[in-house]
């Protein structure tokens, strides 16, 4: 007999189940297209050369110790992170309108923003936070954990395997005034479908007219196109339009620091005076939840951004990762065309970032797994980095066979 007898068993995380099944599979040609982490051409995790160099610098630094970081984290890191996403010449930074707090990576940044909104954002009648349909599997539960209800806006349009721009903008027009809208800054997870710049301009106009609050989740800056500025364009455009907004920034993918949990939450406010009050409250939430953030990943990212020669090297490393993924997209489409595979596969090339929504049905995904030992989530999402020169022919043949 226990007070906890009523705790129900939660369903296992579907991605975790997929990873376990892949691990247990003994087939020589098995392919993992599930995991959302970069892999090199030999299907191995890649420690970025810039990270190795930063790590060596740290090891040689006798002044480094294991003291606590400040509550808001390593300031040289969070300030460089603000410049990285908002731009070096951002007026918001010059006017001291940005509060930046180091977090437990992107997940912690989304959480800190959600906790702050839950505590301070005036919402009429329990107004929901708008999430794209579909979105990263964790968004809904991060918001509901802090008692913020969520709803969805149309995003993915299956017939084109692209953006449902009309549905999306209609939802923004009709959302209750003042609603919070979560936007993926680039490389939308899980679809790989991003608005064009013209579409972002339109989205910003509608959100401005309806006084909606943009909450950007930025987990793939530089990883998507290979260019840090290009991938930050949407966020910077919104700041230029005078929005107050927030950004959850992750260094998991673009620096390959997954397990080190390096991230930052930025709140861009309309005035320096308000910024100071917001920063003071963010610090209180942070203190009660984690006291102070972890140092190692932040120090690596700090060196990568603040040492000019390392920053240049990081940009080369980003182009290596993004370039390999873009090449895999081109090759997969070319190989499907070579095989005369039924269907138009050009969406794989148009989509961007870690993932592609292939359009494969649940039935086809099951066949790929059971008959070909190729693992992907049941919505047909593939992690592009799981492809490489050794398995891409095998995967193309398998897809060709299951769609016929």
Q: Which residues are catalytic?
A: 136, 217, 253
Minimal distance in Å, beta carbon 239 to ligand PLP? Answer: 20
Number of Cβ within 10 Å of residue 237's Cβ equals 15
Minimal distance in Å, beta carbon 363 to ligand PLP? Answer: 26
Near ligand PLP by CB under 6 A: residue from 31, 219, 264, 387: 219
Return d(Cα 108, Cα 265) in angstroms, integer. Answer: 8
Question: Per CB under 6 A, which of residues 261..300 are in contact with ligand PLP?
Answer: 263
Return d(Cα 19, Cα 250) in angstroms, integer. Answer: 22
Question: Per CB under 6 A, which of residues 150..209 are in contact with ligand PLP?
Answer: 184, 189
Return d(Cα 293, Cα 71) in angstroms, integer. Answer: 7
DSSP 8-state class, residue 63:
T
Near ligand PLP by CB under 6 A: residue from 194, 217, 231, 313: 217
Peptide bond connecting 170 to the previous residue in cis, omega within 30 degrees of 0: no
Give the CA distances from residue 18 to residues 23, 36, 361, in Å, rounded to whole numbers and listed in that order. Answer: 9, 12, 17
Return d(Cα 350, Cα 162) in angstroms, integer. Answer: 8
By beta-carbon proximity to ligand PLP, the closer residue of 296 and 394 is 296
Number of Cβ within 10 Å of residue 304's Cβ equals 27
Return d(Cα 381, Cα 187) in angstroms, integer. Answer: 13
Minimal distance in Å, beta carbon 342 to ligand PLP? Answer: 31
Say if residues 130 and 120 touch (Cβ distance below 8 Å).
no
Near ligand PLP by CB under 6 A: residue from 22, 31, 36, 300: 36
Could you give the string, one character per residue 89-108, with x where binding to ligand PLP holds by CB under 6 A and - elsewhere?
----------------xxx-
Could you give the string, one character per residue 105-124, with x where binding to ligand PLP holds by CB under 6 A and - elsewhere?
xxx-----------------
Number of Cβ within 10 Å of residue 140's Cβ equals 18
Contact flag: residue 136 with ligand PLP (CB under 6 A): yes
Total binding residues toward ligand PLP, as defined by CB under 6 A: 13
Minimal distance in Å, beta carbon 230 to ligand PLP? Answer: 18
Minimal distance in Å, beta carbon 269 to ligand PLP? Answer: 22
Which positions touch ligand PLP (CB under 6 A)?
Answer: 36, 105-107, 136, 184, 189, 217, 219, 250, 252, 258, 263
């Amino acid at each position: 007999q226990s007070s906890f007898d009523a705790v129900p068993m939660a369903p296992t995380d579907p991605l975790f189940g997929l990873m376990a099944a892949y691990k247990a599979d003994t087939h020589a040609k098995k392919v993992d297209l599930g995991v959302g982490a970069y892999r090199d051409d030999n299907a191995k995790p890649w420690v970025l050369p810039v990270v190795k160099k930063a790590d060596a610098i740290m090891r040689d630094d006798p002044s480094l110790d294991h003291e606590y970081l400040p509550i808001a984290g390593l300031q040289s890191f969070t300030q460089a992170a603000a410049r990285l996403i908002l731009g070096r010449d951002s007026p918001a930074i010059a006017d001291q309108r940005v509060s930046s707090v180091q977090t437990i990576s992107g997940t912690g940044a989304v959480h800190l923003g959600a906790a702050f909104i839950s505590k301070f954002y005036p919402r009429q009648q329990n107004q929901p936070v708008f999430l794209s349909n579909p979105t990263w599997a964790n968004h809904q539960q991060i918001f509901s954990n802090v008692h913020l209800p969520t709803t969805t806006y149309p995003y993915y349009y299956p017939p084109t395997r692209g953006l449902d721009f009309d549905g999306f903008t209609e939802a923004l027009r009709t959302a209750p005034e003042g609603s919070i809208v979560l936007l993926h800054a680039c490389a939308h997870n899980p679809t790989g479908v991003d608005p064009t710049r013209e579409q972002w301009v339109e989205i910003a106009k509608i959100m401005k007219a309806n006084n909606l609050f943009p909450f950007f989740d930025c987990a793939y800056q530089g990883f998507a196109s290979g260019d840090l500025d290009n991938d930050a364009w949407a966020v910077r455009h919104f700041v230029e339009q005078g929005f107050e907004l927030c950004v959850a920034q992750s260094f998991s993918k673009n620096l390959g620091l997954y397990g080190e949990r390096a991230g930052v939450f930025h709140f861009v406010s309309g005035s320096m005076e308000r910024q100071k009050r917001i920063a003071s409250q963010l610090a209180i939430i942070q203190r009660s939840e984690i006291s102070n953030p972890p140092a190692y990943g932040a120090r690596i990212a700090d060196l990568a951004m603040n040492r000019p020669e390392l920053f240049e090297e990081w940009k080369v490393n980003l182009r290596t990762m993004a370039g390999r993924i873009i090449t895999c997209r081109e090759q997969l489409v070319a190989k499907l065309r070579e095989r005369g595979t039924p269907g138009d596969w050009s969406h794989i090339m148009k989509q961007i970032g870690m993932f592609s929504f292939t359009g494969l049905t649940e039935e086809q995904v099951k066949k790929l797994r059971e008959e070909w030992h190729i693992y992907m989530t049941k919505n047909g999402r593939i992690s592009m980095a799981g492809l490489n020169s050794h398995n891409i022919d095998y995967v193309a043949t398998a897809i060709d066979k299951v769609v016929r």
